[in-house]
Amino acid sequence: MMVYPQALEKLIKNLKKIPGIGPKSAERIAFFFLSSNQEYIQELSENLSDLKDHLKKCPQCFSLTSQEGLCSVCSSEERDRSLICVVESYRDLIVIENTGDYKGLYHILEGRLSPLDGMMPDKIKIMELIERVKKEKPKEIIMATNPNVEGDSTAFYISKLLKDFPVKITRLAKGLPVGSDLEFADMMSLMNSFKNREIM
């Protein structure tokens, strides 16, 4: 086998570590970089190394922010401080924020409980949430962890810890996705949408 020159080989090795990028794609991307102009490569390389330097974590909700101190949501005067929406990741925050519907605050757990993967309660921001509840006394905690086994058990675990606090704990409704057909619904979603049926 003829090997690629070392500089190319090293880059392909790095790219193969990206989830979803196999050996062929890694080669294809490396060759794209090779044929790109120098400005693009320089910019990409700088943006990569700047990534972590320019992103800070909000000390209250653990959202990513480019400013020092609290993030734009936590520091906004227009948000409802009596509501805290608990999500697994920053991406989930973005998804909810983009609905434009939610006006409360967030709390990012930075993961979900998953003992098999070593994700124990102390690995995610659960204690920080309890401290916030103690200090900020919100009226409601909305558990918006993912609607799967791990997300559910994380929400359940947290709700147990919070049961003695004077705070309402809610969970995102499970049911049929809007705009879908009944025939394509999975059984669990359909069962949930029966159980949680609403009065018209």
Min separation Cβ 106 and a copy of itself, Å = 11
Of 16-24, 120-128, 141-149, 185-193: span binding a copy of itself (CB under 8 A) = 16-24
Min separation Cβ 133 and a copy of itself, Å = 25
The alpha helices in 64-178, defined as continuous H runs, are 90-97, 126-136, 149-161
**How many Å apart are CA 143 and CA 113, to the nearest integer?**
14
How open is the CA angle 93-118-110, to the nearest 5 degrees? 15
Contact between 174 and 189 under an 8 Å Cβ cutoff? The reply is yes
Min separation Cβ 111 and a copy of itself, Å = 10
Binding mask 67-96 for a copy of itself (x = CB under 8 A): -----------------------xx--x--
20 binds a copy of itself (CB under 8 A): yes
Contact between 65 and 57 under an 8 Å Cβ cutoff? The reply is yes
Using DSSP bridges, classify how beta strands 64-65 and 80-87 pair: parallel, antiparallel or unpaired.
unpaired
Contact between 107 and 89 under an 8 Å Cβ cutoff? The reply is no
Amino acid type, 12 = I
Tell which positions 27-66 bind a copy of itself, by CB under 8 A: 27-34, 36, 38, 40-55, 64-66
Contact between 129 and 86 under an 8 Å Cβ cutoff? The reply is yes
103 binds a copy of itself (CB under 8 A): no
10 binds a copy of itself (CB under 8 A): yes
167 binds a copy of itself (CB under 8 A): no
Of residues 99, 96, 91, the one with CA closest to residue 63: 91
11 binds a copy of itself (CB under 8 A): yes
Question: Which spans of this chain sit near a copy of itself (rule: CB under 8 A)?
Answer: 1-2, 4-8, 10-11, 14-15, 17-21, 25, 27-34, 36, 38, 40-55, 64-66, 90-91, 94, 97-98
